[in-house]
A and B are shown apart, each in its own frame.
Chain A
Amino acid sequence: MEQKNNTLLVYTLLYFAFLYIPVLFLPIFSFNDANYMSFPLSGFTTEHYEEMWAKTNLHKALWASIKVGIVASVVSTTIALFAAKAFARYKFRGQNISYGAIMIPFLIPEIILAVAILVIWLSLGFKLGLVPVTLGHILFCTPFAMLILIARIEGFDFSLEEASRDLGENAWGTFYRVSLPLYLPGIIASLLLSFIISFDEFVLAFFLTGSDATLPMYMWAQMRFIQKLPHVLALGAVIIVFTTFIVLLAFWLRNLGQGKDKAEFGIKIHE
């Protein structure tokens, strides 16, 4: 019995090592006082971070990514909320087909999605830039958002909505006073995860940005110059920390009020 547990423990540790050791090299080398990623480490410095931040192009790219991320996450979460409610609440003709249709961008290779949007966008005579990137990201984020929201809305007691109607609220009042506060943890989790997916996305951005680089595009462009590698490491380290934080926050929110007692609910709304 003891033996078996040790085997599983070793397996688990190996798995996490495989997953995270490469990622850990980024922060380690980002504080190394050298231009190359090689051991032994030559000394501690925060210089790369200062240099990284001094680049005005970085600020531009960061702002572009934030804009795209906000619009993509808000729009995809809104679309996904309506869809998730429909799937969780009602049975209708074509349910499976429409579910599949929304999930497909999740499954087809991103590069195909990117090329398809590129071809259509250009043939319509539009210019490349952040707008097509945002549209692509909405397409790509919606399935993620829907998976999160369906998990939240499924098992939702819809008699709460009927009770609200019964107590004199119309459909909008019911949505605002009952449904929205109860879905809120799911909605925020969906916004955060959609934002992160958009923020980290490279392939669609690569095809569709034109000259307005997003952050991953900026990093990729920097990588071509060996002397700029340390900046990319520093930036990568910052992004890892930020992303990890947001994802943990999103998962915590998603599970809020769905623990041992389903009725227990974390967010109190005061009117």
Chain B
Amino acid sequence: MNESFIQINGISKHFGNVKAVDNVSFEIKEGEFFSLLGPSGCGKTTLLRLLAGFEYPTSGNLLLDGSDITALPPDKRPTNMVFQNYAIFPHINVEKNVQFGLRKLGLTNDEIFKRVKDVLSLVKLEGYEERYSSQLSGGQRQRVALARALVRQPKVLLLDEPLGALDKKLRDEMQLELRTLQKEIGITFVFVTHDQQEAISMSDRVAVMSEGKIQQMSSPNELYKNPQNIFVSDFIGETNFLKAKTETKEGEYINVNIEDLGSFKIKNNLKISENASDVICSVRPETMMIDKEKSDWDICLEGKIKQTSYLGEMTKFYVETKEIEKIITVSSQYFDNQSFQDGKCFISINLNDISLLNKK
């Protein structure tokens, strides 16, 4: 497998004074499901459009499978795109839509027929050949868009928030289906989304973007468990931030003074220097424990429940403690909103679950 199938070398794209993409470099592996994740305006869609050829970079170059595609127009690139609104041609039927991109490939009629038939069965749209876009549901349009792009057998499939317009149930279903499909056909997918849950559940690797830059690029697990900075930690999932200062190092660990709680020995994954006053500790709500009794965990605080939100599979508690100024969010699958009648509780934290981050 080619480890540097797509090479993005120092790519910048400026629109006037706005740096939509700001000197970004990374590589995507062959056959990988790669996601670009970030809030709107972070540059992820611009980066995808640069890969498709709808935009040309202000500087930098793009290599696909060893050849430079920086200056190629979209029709000369071995990439195909699934558009956010699907962009199904309304004046021709499903079959003609799928055939649209085969005209210039020099195939015989039999080959065209076979390819269209195969791809329609792949996306489960057999029997819809004669339909027009207006006669299809959102999910079916999405399948047509997918079939139309895949029928050309591109080296890379680019997907621009393709699930954004679907309702939640269908979206979950399509997530699983897209993932299965990608593994089946083995084509490299570059997937743009603002939905962190979507990116995490589908991708082999995720690049989190903000303000035109890549904030972190890693596997979904790494992203969640070892965020590299506050932006990533905040954007992926939910977390509690506690102000802190570093003291002295002890091998892989560092002593950290967490505001109002005292000193603790915490793993220093990001190699933060000693005596730094600008650090933050992040603790995920589900890593903490809420209970009616005191526990023997590393940190155990008595608290009062100010608010709860019941989510079915779990319940979130918003807890006020004497020690910490901020309200702490804790989630539990064991207790629910009716468990604590008097609101009195204990919340416990394991030091292993605290990530130390640079404030910046």
Contact = CB atoms under 8 A, between A and B. Distances in A.
Contacts, number: 79
A261 B85 contact: no
B91 A157 contact: no
Query: Which 7 A-B residue pairings sit nearest by Cβ, starting from the closest?
Result: A167-B101, A163-B87, A263-B134, A159-B87, A165-B74, A264-B134, A168-B104
Contacts of B89: 160, 163-164, 178
A182 B101 contact: no
B105 A168 contact: yes
Nearest to A268: B91
Contact of A265 (B87, B91, B103, B149): B91
Which of A165, A257, A264, A271 has the most CB atoms of chain B within a 10 A radius of its CB? A165
Contacts of B134: 261, 263-265
B91 A182 contact: yes
A54 interface: no
A127 interface: no
B83 interface: yes
B100 A177 contact: yes
B124 to A, nearest CB: 21
A170 interface: yes
A172 B87 CA distance: 19
B132 interface: yes
B73 A165 contact: yes
B148 interface: yes
Interface in A151-192: 157, 159-160, 162-170, 177-178, 181-182
Contacts of A168: 75, 101, 103-105, 152
Contacts of A163: 81, 83, 87, 89, 148
A10 to B, nearest CB: 42
B188 interface: no
28 contacts: A157-B87, A159-B87, A160-B89, A162-B54, A162-B81, A162-B83, A162-B87, A163-B89, A165-B53, A166-B53, A166-B75, A166-B80, A167-B75, A167-B80, A167-B101, A167-B149, A168-B75, A168-B103, A169-B104, A170-B73, A170-B75, A178-B89, A181-B91, A263-B133, A264-B132, A265-B90, A265-B91, A265-B134
Contact of B96 (A157, A159, A271): A271
Contacts of B81: 162-163, 166
A261 B101 CA distance: 26
B52 interface: yes
Contacts of B91: 181-182, 265, 267-269
Interface in B114-165: 132-134, 148-149, 152
A182 B145 CA distance: 19
A162 B133 contact: no
A271 B105 CA distance: 17
B299 interface: no
A262 B22 CA distance: 38
A172 to B, nearest CB: 11
Given A167-B100, A168-B105, A162 B74 contact: yes
Contacts of B79: 166
Interface SS of A by simple majority: loop
A142 to B, nearest CB: 27
A271 B95 CA distance: 12
Contacts of A269: 91-92
A177 B89 CA distance: 10
A181 B148 CA distance: 19
A170 B76 CA distance: 9
Range, interface on chain A = 20 to 34
Interface residues of B, number: 29
A168 B96 CA distance: 15
A167 B74 CA distance: 8
B96 A165 contact: no
Given A159-B85, A166-B75, A263 B90 contact: yes
A17 B245 CA distance: 87
A268 B91 CA distance: 6
Nearest to B99: A271
Contacts of A268: 91-92
Contact of A159 (B83, B100, B149, B152): B83
B81 to A, nearest CB: 5
A233 B132 CA distance: 49
Interface string A234-271: 00000000000000000000000100010111011101
A168 B74 CA distance: 7
Contact of A157 (B73, B85, B103): B85
Contact of B148 (A165, A167, A169, A257): A167
A45 B52 CA distance: 71
A167 B92 contact: no
Interface in A121-175: 157, 159-160, 162-170
Interface string B58-93: 000000000000000111000111011101011110
A98 B282 CA distance: 57
Contacts of B84: 159
Given A166-B74, A268-B91, 10 more contacts: A159-B87, A162-B81, A163-B89, A166-B54, A166-B81, A166-B101, A167-B152, A168-B103, A170-B73, A264-B132
A271 B187 CA distance: 31
A182 B75 CA distance: 21
Which of B52, B91, B96, B105 has the most CB atoms of chain A within a 10 A radius of its CB? B91
A42 to B, nearest CB: 56
Nearest to A170: B75
A165 B87 contact: no
Which of B53, B74, B83, B132 has the most CB atoms of chain A within a 10 A radius of its CB? B74
Given A263-B133, A264-B134, A182 B80 contact: no
Contacts of A181: 91
